[in-house]
Chain A
Amino acid sequence: MPEIFWDILGIPATTDTSKIRKAYSKLVKEHGPEDDEEGFKKINGVYKAACKFAANFERLGVSDEQIVITDKRPDGSFGVKFLDKDGKPLYPTPPSTLPELDPRFAGNKTAEPQYVEDREFDFESIDSSVIKDYSFEEVSERAGMISFATGFAVPDSPKTRKIKKFLDDNKIILDLSKRVMPGEEKDGRGNGLRIAKLILDSEFIDQKVIWQFFFTSPLVISLRTDLEFYRMLENVINARKLPVNQLIAIAEGSGMRPRIYTNPSKAAESIKEPQKAIDFVSRVPFRYEKGKYPKLDEIMKREKPEAYKELTDFLSTIPINLYGILMPVVVPWHKEALQEAIYAFNYIVRTPQCRKMSEKRILWKMFVQGTLVRRPLVYKEDFLAALTKQTLDFDIPKEVLVAFKKEIGKFQYASLKRKEGSDDQYYLNIHASKQTMGKGEYRRAMSKSEAWGTTIGMILMTLFVIVSVYFYEMYLNGSI
């Protein structure tokens, strides 16, 4: 009779791990890894196989008598049948698809949210006092510290203390990494949504800060790449029909700019009416202050000092949050980033002040190097295609386009085309279908023209030598 691993372990087939362990420990004490290497290898292999068996069939909840070994094969494998209590065969049922959610959040179920297709911001109803409370300082502090671990490195202030109290009172533990490790999206997603609902249901005033806590908690950070989670979250939020103030607070807390549009068609529409969008943005009472945005400063410092000064002066005079547009804060993995980039492009070419700056390339430099354009590489093709389409029906001065071409052309083919029947109007032509031009390729293209220059130079040199030799000989012959 062939020997299968239950025979080696000396126990009947079981799904009880403790029984397997007991048998294994008895055997291992006789054949330890120190004394009997071959024996230990065999026992350890058998033990691992038995544990796997137990893990696979534990959920059936069958007792040892209900497991029947049907046949034993020479290679050590075997057939197995499970019986129910009446001795009839029981077939393994597939595992339930979703594991149970953390019971702490189970009590707060609401009806499944519906996606609200056309939802518009009421620009008039924005109460600026809601936003005034919070400075950007808090946001930058959050970027450095809170992401660490919520409640651990958060700056201590009356506001954060209030929030901590709220979290404690409601037994919300945003530091959910203790329950869910990154990678187990299913549990994390569910718990994240439940907490979001809890916060939405509370009548908590400091919405923005609590959303900051939420979005920077290890739980949500671990879901960073889970686009589905963000979509579900959006549905949950939209289903509430919240006042605009609160929506702005959520957007601010999440690091996203207040979203003016929820779908692409709306986005296109608002671009057609740029004044509306600009008006909205200029209501946000933030001004650029030097030294507050380290990343932006860093990029700008790479430029010439006078240009840097000019730009900072410019940024501090305009009443809009240009920082938010150019170095956004839109989560770069979000598909929304594409719309934001197009919006930023439009904003620059349309606003007279920006347009003036953009002629000098520095604004374009920020645009191209900023996280907005550089990071969502996934949407790069879409972005360029959209840009090509968008710009065709605008009147953009030649200088602006030249500056843009010079900047973006560093890594992308771009060309200017003259508009038919017009002398001073051009449109941008970007070869979106072509592969991005790498640095090396660009250099090669450069060296090609240089090579031509060198060849012509060489020919001229040779001609010069020949001619001078000819004259020299004539001189020797006494002709001259």
Chain B
Amino acid sequence: MAKIGIDLGTTNSLAVVYKDGQTVRIKNSLDSYITPSAVSIDEDGKILVGEAAKDRLISHPEVSASEFKRSMGQRQDVVLNGVKYTPEELSSLILKKIKADSEAFLGEEVEEAIISVPAYFDDNSRRATRVAADLSGLKVERLINEPSAAALAYLDKNGYEDGTYMVIDFGGGTLDVSVVDVFENIIEILAVAGNNKLGGKDFNEAIARDFCKKNELDYDTLSPAQKAVIYRASERAKIALTDMPMVMMEVPLETKKYVLTLTNKELISISKPIFEGIREPVRKAIHDSRKKLESLDRIILVGGSCKMPTVREFIRQITGITPDTSIDPDIAIAEGAGIYAAMKNKDLKDVILTDICPFTLGIAVNNDILNDGSQMMSSIIPRNTTLPSSITKPYSAASDNQTKILLRVYQGESIHPDKNLFLGDLEITCPPTRFGAKICDVKMTYDINGILIVDVFTADGLAKTKAFRSNSSVLTEDEVEQMRQKMEEAMLVSPEDEKYRALIARAERVYEESFEDQRFALQRAIMVFRGSLERRDPIKVQQSYKALSDLLDTLEY
């Protein structure tokens, strides 16, 4: 029984297993390491996941979804083909696919996994990730923070060299910055800061908006399909700018061809807020780690967006250190998760990772200075506390003869509780005391699995304990049960079928993006391939498959 590490990303997901002292990437049924995090419903109600679904985002946007990681734990449902799907359900489909692929690749059952999450995922999003894993039939005991995983992957390759590192994980949808201290094979995460709403997707959107602006189109009023075409072209332009000084975007919409030339310099000027968004987490992480910028030995970049030369240069400019890009930014996180799985399994001895809680946990208390009935936050576990951790704080009565306490638990940095994330509450009765006298002790324990336990000790002993476990407050048991049934009914396409469907989806996407003169040849090739599939002639299928994929390769640069 194998234990795998999974990077469940905003745009792409992949899995890694640690075998015989090294990491092995798991290939999926399409013979690729990377599975795009996209889901699409086929005409016959079957569910497509991965490359095929990503292509169908353009040809069938109304039955396809991606980037749902951004709304994990936020109850933003997506309607596909008339059926509502929660982000948890969609993520579980991807995990299910990864599980099936891993089992086929490894030839053994996979039951347990370590899933990486952005360090700045709040408690709700973490719980949602666990629910998704649960729905897909994977046992997930531990979630690992993405920058910690990236640090592990880097250090595993470089022999756990002592020093202080900064890991910047700039992925498709999130940005995490962490400061890591390594000594004597102990990897200590000192501080984490980030922005879970900033990512490579924002560059795509900025380019798409600029494209529309320059061509006098209104981005907001375009149809979803047109938007998707422009968006995809923007993404391609962004990627092309990695090696080229200038790219030309050509997008055919309806009957007209729209063109935009883009240089890295222009990319900088249209996406300035995104760059500015990188600066703050870097500053905050350094500040929280109590280190100086000059004491950093190395800056490690991971995540797809760090491939962009402008991003690298910006980071070099604001830190003055040339960042290290020696590890593959796409797979580092999955590798780290795989290494962590091995560490947990005791396959990798003598390496210890101590992680932190990236946000402050506390309770709401009466504002005794203003005394106007307003409440303020009293933090118990401050941010960047090493996990596991338990901290006790005494609290006093707010009025004479107080016999009841309503403890409301929050997560966040604001002094106003209502601006923070509400995690739950518990009500306690206690012996009456006078105003200002000590009424209880509150003990908060945040363990390494991300479970928060709140104990309240009153004068007559332990009064009440509440554990804020996974899926306790956001989703009810019934909801989870419903989801489970729905997901068991969900049918994934069989692997060989998937290969063909993926090719058709890609062809249809390319068809929409291509110009009239290219369309004829493409149309013909698709028809031939479809016909051979229907006739179930294996040799013809082989031939037409190759013909179509060759044609697609030439059409796409």
Binding site for B on A (CB under 8 A): 18, 21-22, 24-25, 28-29, 32-34, 37, 40-41, 44, 48, 144-145, 148-149, 152-153, 175, 177-179, 181-183, 218
Looking at the assembled complex, report how far the CB atom of B242 sits from the nearest CB atom of chain A, in whole angstroms: 17
Q: In the complex the two chains form, is A37's CB within 8 Å of B320's CB?
A: no
Bound state CA distance, A209 and B302, in angstroms? 37
A contact residues around B265 at 8 Å (CB) = 153
Q: A34-B344, A44-B386 are contacts. A148–B272 as well, Cβ < 8 Å?
A: yes
> B320's contact among A40, A145, A153, A177, by CB below 8 Å, is which?
A177
B contact residues around A177 at 8 Å (CB) = 317-320
Is B368 part of the binding interface, using a Cβ–Cβ cutoff of 8 Å?
A: no
Bound state CA distance, A178 and B293, in angstroms? 7
Additional A-B contacts beyond A21-B183, A33-B354, A148-B317 (6; CB < 8 A): A24-B186, A28-B186, A41-B390, A152-B317, A153-B268, A178-B293
Q: In the complex the two chains form, is A144's CB within 8 Å of B387's CB?
A: no
Q: A21-B183, A40-B388 are contacts. A28–B352 as well, Cβ < 8 Å?
A: yes
Could you list 19 examples of A-B contacts with CB < 8 Å? A21-B183, A25-B184, A33-B354, A33-B388, A34-B343, A37-B388, A37-B447, A41-B390, A44-B386, A48-B386, A144-B272, A148-B275, A148-B317, A152-B313, A152-B317, A153-B265, A178-B319, A178-B320, A182-B283
B24-47, CB under 8 A of A: which get 1 and which 0?
Answer: 000000000000000000000000
B contact residues around A29 at 8 Å (CB) = 350, 352
Is B448 part of the binding interface, using a Cβ–Cβ cutoff of 8 Å?
A: yes
Chain B: interface residue total (CB-CB under 8 A): 33
Looking at the assembled complex, report how far the CB atom of B296 sits from the nearest CB atom of chain A, in whole angstroms: 10
Residues 263-284 of B at the A interface (beta carbon under 8 Å): 265, 268-269, 272, 275, 283
A contact residues around B367 at 8 Å (CB) = none
A contact residues around B387 at 8 Å (CB) = 33
Bound state CA distance, A152 and B183, in angstroms? 36
Residues 291-333 of B at the A interface (beta carbon under 8 Å): 293-294, 313-314, 317-321
B contact residues around A48 at 8 Å (CB) = 386
Bound state CA distance, A152 and B275, in angstroms? 13
Q: In the complex the two chains form, is B293's CB within 8 Å of A144's CB?
A: no
Identity of the chain B residue whose Cβ is nearest the Cβ of A151 in the assembled complex: B317
Residues 366-404 of B at the A interface (beta carbon under 8 Å): 386-390
A contact residues around B390 at 8 Å (CB) = 41
Bound state CA distance, A402 and B268, in angstroms? 46
A contact residues around B293 at 8 Å (CB) = 178-179, 181
Closest 3 CB pairs of A and B: A178-B320, A25-B184, A149-B317
A contact residues around B386 at 8 Å (CB) = 44, 48
Bound state CA distance, A182 and B319, in angstroms? 12
Is B409 part of the binding interface, using a Cβ–Cβ cutoff of 8 Å?
A: no
Is B287 part of the binding interface, using a Cβ–Cβ cutoff of 8 Å?
A: yes
Bound state CA distance, A41 and B357, in angstroms? 14
Looking at the assembled complex, report how far the CB atom of A218 sits from the nearest CB atom of chain B, in whole angstroms: 7
Is B168 part of the binding interface, using a Cβ–Cβ cutoff of 8 Å?
A: no
Q: A25-B186, A28-B186, A29-B352 are contacts. A149–B388 as well, Cβ < 8 Å?
A: no
Q: A25-B186, A33-B388, A175-B317 are contacts. A181–B269 as well, Cβ < 8 Å?
A: no
Identity of the chain A residue whose Cβ is nearest the Cβ of B272 in the assembled complex: A148
A contact residues around B186 at 8 Å (CB) = 24-25, 28
Is B361 part of the binding interface, using a Cβ–Cβ cutoff of 8 Å?
A: no
Q: In the complex the two chains form, is B321's CB within 8 Å of A178's CB?
A: yes
Bound state CA distance, A33 and B446, in angstroms? 12
Looking at the assembled complex, report how far the CB atom of B295 sits from the nearest CB atom of chain A, in whole angstroms: 12
Looking at the assembled complex, report how far the CB atom of B340 sits from the nearest CB atom of chain A, in whole angstroms: 10
Bound state CA distance, A145 and B270, in angstroms? 11
A contact residues around B350 at 8 Å (CB) = 29
Looking at the assembled complex, report how far the CB atom of B385 sits from the nearest CB atom of chain A, in whole angstroms: 9
Q: A25-B184, A33-B448, A218-B318 are contacts. A41–B313 as well, Cβ < 8 Å?
A: no
Count, A-B residue pairs, CB within 8 A = 76
Q: A33-B388, A34-B448 are contacts. A148–B268 as well, Cβ < 8 Å?
A: yes
Looking at the assembled complex, report how far the CB atom of A231 sits from the nearest CB atom of chain B, in whole angstroms: 26
Identity of the chain A residue whose Cβ is nearest the Cβ of B349 in the assembled complex: A29
Identity of the chain A residue whose Cβ is nearest the Cβ of B354 in the assembled complex: A33
Q: In the complex the two chains form, is B447's CB within 8 Å of A32's CB?
A: no
Q: In the complex the two chains form, is B352's CB within 8 Å of A33's CB?
A: yes
Bound state CA distance, A175 and B386, in angstroms? 34
Q: In the complex the two chains form, is B283's CB within 8 Å of A181's CB?
A: yes
Bound state CA distance, A32 and B272, in angstroms? 44
Is B465 part of the binding interface, using a Cβ–Cβ cutoff of 8 Å?
A: no
Q: In the complex the two chains form, is A175's CB within 8 Å of B320's CB?
A: yes
Is B286 part of the binding interface, using a Cβ–Cβ cutoff of 8 Å?
A: yes
B131-142, CB under 8 A of A: which get 1 and which 0?
Answer: 000000000000
Bound state CA distance, A32 and B186, in angstroms? 10
Q: In the complex the two chains form, is B388's CB within 8 Å of A41's CB?
A: yes
B contact residues around A152 at 8 Å (CB) = 313-314, 317
B169-194, CB under 8 A of A: which get 1 and which 0?
Answer: 00000000000000111100000000
Looking at the assembled complex, report how far the CB atom of B120 sits from the nearest CB atom of chain A, in whole angstroms: 21
B contact residues around A179 at 8 Å (CB) = 293-294, 320
> A21's contact among B184, B269, B318, B352, by CB below 8 Å, is which?
B184
Bound state CA distance, A21 and B388, in angstroms? 19
Q: A33-B354, A148-B272 are contacts. A25–B448 as well, Cβ < 8 Å?
A: no
Bound state CA distance, A458 and B354, in angstroms? 76
Bound state CA distance, A44 and B272, in angstroms? 41
- Scoring A25, A145, A182 by chain B CB atoms within 10 A of each residue's CB, the highest score goes to A25
Q: In the complex the two chains form, is A37's CB within 8 Å of B184's CB?
A: no
A contact residues around B268 at 8 Å (CB) = 145, 148, 153
A contact residues around B388 at 8 Å (CB) = 33, 37, 40-41
Identity of the chain B residue whose Cβ is nearest the Cβ of A182 in the assembled complex: B283
B contact residues around A28 at 8 Å (CB) = 186, 352, 354
Q: In the complex the two chains form, is A25's CB within 8 Å of B318's CB?
A: no
B contact residues around A32 at 8 Å (CB) = 352
Looking at the assembled complex, report how far the CB atom of A376 sits from the nearest CB atom of chain B, in whole angstroms: 24
Looking at the assembled complex, report how far the CB atom of A61 sits from the nearest CB atom of chain B, in whole angstroms: 19
Q: In the complex the two chains form, is A144's CB within 8 Å of B352's CB?
A: no
B contact residues around A145 at 8 Å (CB) = 268-269
Q: In the complex the two chains form, is B275's CB within 8 Å of A41's CB?
A: no
Looking at the assembled complex, report how far the CB atom of A160 sits from the nearest CB atom of chain B, in whole angstroms: 14
Bound state CA distance, A62 and B419, in angstroms? 48
> A149's contact among B269, B314, B389, B448, by CB below 8 Å, is which?
B314
Q: In the complex the two chains form, is A25's CB within 8 Å of B185's CB?
A: yes
Bound state CA distance, A148 and B278, in angstroms? 12
> A144's contact among B183, B269, B320, B321, by CB below 8 Å, is which?
B269
B328-352, CB under 8 A of A: which get 1 and which 0?
Answer: 0000000000000001100000101
A contact residues around B286 at 8 Å (CB) = 181
Bound state CA distance, A175 and B272, in angstroms? 18
Bound state CA distance, A218 and B282, in angstroms? 15
Bound state CA distance, A177 and B317, in angstroms? 8
B contact residues around A37 at 8 Å (CB) = 388, 447-448
Looking at the assembled complex, report how far the CB atom of A471 sits from the nearest CB atom of chain B, in whole angstroms: 60
B185-211, CB under 8 A of A: which get 1 and which 0?
Answer: 110000000000000000000000000
Bound state CA distance, A194 and B320, in angstroms? 20
Bound state CA distance, A41 and B184, in angstroms? 19
Bound state CA distance, A177 and B292, in angstroms? 12
B contact residues around A183 at 8 Å (CB) = 283, 287
Bound state CA distance, A175 and B343, in angstroms? 42
A contact residues around B272 at 8 Å (CB) = 144, 148
Bound state CA distance, A181 and B291, in angstroms? 11
Q: In the complex the two chains form, is B352's CB within 8 Å of A41's CB?
A: no
Looking at the assembled complex, report how far the CB atom of B163 sits from the nearest CB atom of chain A, in whole angstroms: 12
Identity of the chain A residue whose Cβ is nearest the Cβ of B186 in the assembled complex: A25
Bound state CA distance, A18 and B268, in angstroms? 43
> A41's contact among B185, B319, B389, by CB below 8 Å, is which?
B389
B contact residues around A24 at 8 Å (CB) = 186
Bound state CA distance, A178 and B318, in angstroms? 6
A contact residues around B269 at 8 Å (CB) = 144-145, 153
A contact residues around B320 at 8 Å (CB) = 175, 177-179
Identity of the chain B residue whose Cβ is nearest the Cβ of A34 in the assembled complex: B344
Q: A34-B448, A37-B388, A153-B268 are contacts. A22–B184 as well, Cβ < 8 Å?
A: yes
